């Protein structure tokens, strides 16, 4: 590798591009350049690890660019403290320099990384949400499917016609809730939408900072679903509200689930771990959550996979490790922890 380029940030800057980084693992979250430099220099752990990896999108464009930006979807392994394994990053950078030189943009550049081991393709929901987000951030028009989706959520088409709505249209609608009457339309129609639309819409709303009134509506629907033991509705409403800044309401939702008959259900627990992990910095809530995971004996290895997921998240690591040392654990939780180390 050439000596002067030591990080991806430098590689992109030296190639004369403007660039941005987003986490793609948990929720699509922008990582600012200062934080990204600290991650690349292993000064700080990767903030949103998933499955032992940093899963990210790097969007970059020529300073003179008129075309859409280029995007690399990348997956790098992390060490046990969730810090970037530098050898992998260096390997990727050397492959880029070998394939492209410093000419990172242009039509010919993009196909050359197709077989790169660090490149991955996000699932359809994430890809649609990311496309919608980029168009928004670049002040570009939404996709051709947006207007039809907007019409659908206004109630003018008939909700039974959900098959006519494209996934990308649902994503564009979710990422443009502040346009026109979209936010108020969503509040009015959420309760009557068919599950076939609610499920993908919730997957898009995860990446959106929804309003507090909308968060309250989702919480009310989730509380009702807990009472009715409607697991799918619980999961959908938790996902839909999980991007909100109203963390107190999300915490209330988690407490409601954990106190309900669905408290030890695998799907509910995995959704809390994957979407509402910030609420688990509260030691008591985390304790109850881990108790519930230990109680689930339908799925083999559920407790250990949840433990491994949460202990890797930097803001949760000290709290999760604290549970190992806690003295007032139940027999069930003690046994589950014992199995981790056996």
Helices (H) and strands (E) in the chain, counts: 17, 4
The HSE-up count of residue 225 (CA atoms within 13 Å, CB side) is: 23
pLDDT number for residue 44: 97
Q: Which residues contact 126 (CB under 8 A, 6 or more apart)?
A: 24, 28
Tokens of 25: 């693992």
pLDDT number for residue 65: 60
Q: Is 138 exposed, middle or buried (0-12, 13-18, 19+ CB in 10 A)?
A: exposed
Residue of 179, 174, 213 whose CA lies nearest to 197: 174
CA pair distance 337, 290, nearest whole angstrom: 10
pTM: 0.93
Interior/surface letters 100-114, b for 16+ CB within 10 angstroms, e for the rest: beeebbeeebeeebe
For 193, which DSSP code? S
Phi, psi angle pair for 301, to nearest 5°: 80, 5
pLDDT digits (tens, 9 = 90+) for 109-143: 556 676 789 999 999 999 999 999 999 998 999 99
Please give the chain's pLDDT, 342 residues, in tens: 444 567 999 989 888 888 999 999 999 999 999 999 999 999 999 999 999 999 999 999 887 666 778 899 999 999 999 999 999 999 998 888 887 776 676 655 556 676 789 999 999 999 999 999 999 998 999 999 999 999 999 999 999 999 999 999 999 999 999 999 999 999 999 999 999 999 999 999 999 999 999 999 999 999 999 999 999 999 999 999 999 999 999 999 999 999 999 999 999 999 999 999 999 999 999 999 999 999 997 888 999 999 999 999 999 999 999 999 888 889 999 999 999 988
pLDDT number for residue 328: 84
CA pair distance 176, 263, nearest whole angstrom: 33
Q: How far is CA 173 from CA 182, 187, 194, 299, in A?
A: 7, 13, 16, 36
pLDDT digits (tens, 9 = 90+) for 134-169: 999 989 999 999 999 999 999 999 999 999 999 999
Whether residue 63 contacts residue 54, with contact meaning beta carbons closer than 8 Å, is answered with no
């Amino acid at each position: 590798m050439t000596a002067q380029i030591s990080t991806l940030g430098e590689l992109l800057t030296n190639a004369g591009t403007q660039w941005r980084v987003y986490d793609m693992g948990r929720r699509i979250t922008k990582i600012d350049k200062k934080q990204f430099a600290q991650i690349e220099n292993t000064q700080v752990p990767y903030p949103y690890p998933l499955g032992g990896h940093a899963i990210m999108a790097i969007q970059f464009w020529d300073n003179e660019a008129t075309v859409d930006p280029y995007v690399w979807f990348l997956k790098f392994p992390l060490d046990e403290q969730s810090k970037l394994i530098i050898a992998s990053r260096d390997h990727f950078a050397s492959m880029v320099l070998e394939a492209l030189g410093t000419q990172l943009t242009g039509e010919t550049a993009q196909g050359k990384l197709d077989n790169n081991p660090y490149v991955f393709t996000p699932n359809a929901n994430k890809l649609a949400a990311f496309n919608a987000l980029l168009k928004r951030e670049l002040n570009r028009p939404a996709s051709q499917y947006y207007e039809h989706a907007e019409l659908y959520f206004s109630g003018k088409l008939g909700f039974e016609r959900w098959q006519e709505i494209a996934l990308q249209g649902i994503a564009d609608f979710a990422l443009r809730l502040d346009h026109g009457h979209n936010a108020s339309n969503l509040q009015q129609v959420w309760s009557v939408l068919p599950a076939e639309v609610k499920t993908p819409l919730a997957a898009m709303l995860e990446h959106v900072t929804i309003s507090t009134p909308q968060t309250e509506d989702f919480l009310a629907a989730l509380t009702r679903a807990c009472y009715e033991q409607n697991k799918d509705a619980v999961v959908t409403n938790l996902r839909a509200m999980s991007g909100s800044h109203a963390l107190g309401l999300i915490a209330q939702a988690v407490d409601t689930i954990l106190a309900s008959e669905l408290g030890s259900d695998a799907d509910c627990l995995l959704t809390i771990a994957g979407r509402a992990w910030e609420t688990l910095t509260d030691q008591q809530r985390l304790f109850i959550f881990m108790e519930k995971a230990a109680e689930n004996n339908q799925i083999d290895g559920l407790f250990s996979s949840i433990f491994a997921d949460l202990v890797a998240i930097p803001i949760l690591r000290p709290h999760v490790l604290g549970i190992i040392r806690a003295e007032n654990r139940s027999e069930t939780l003690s046994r589950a922890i014992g199995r981790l180390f056996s």
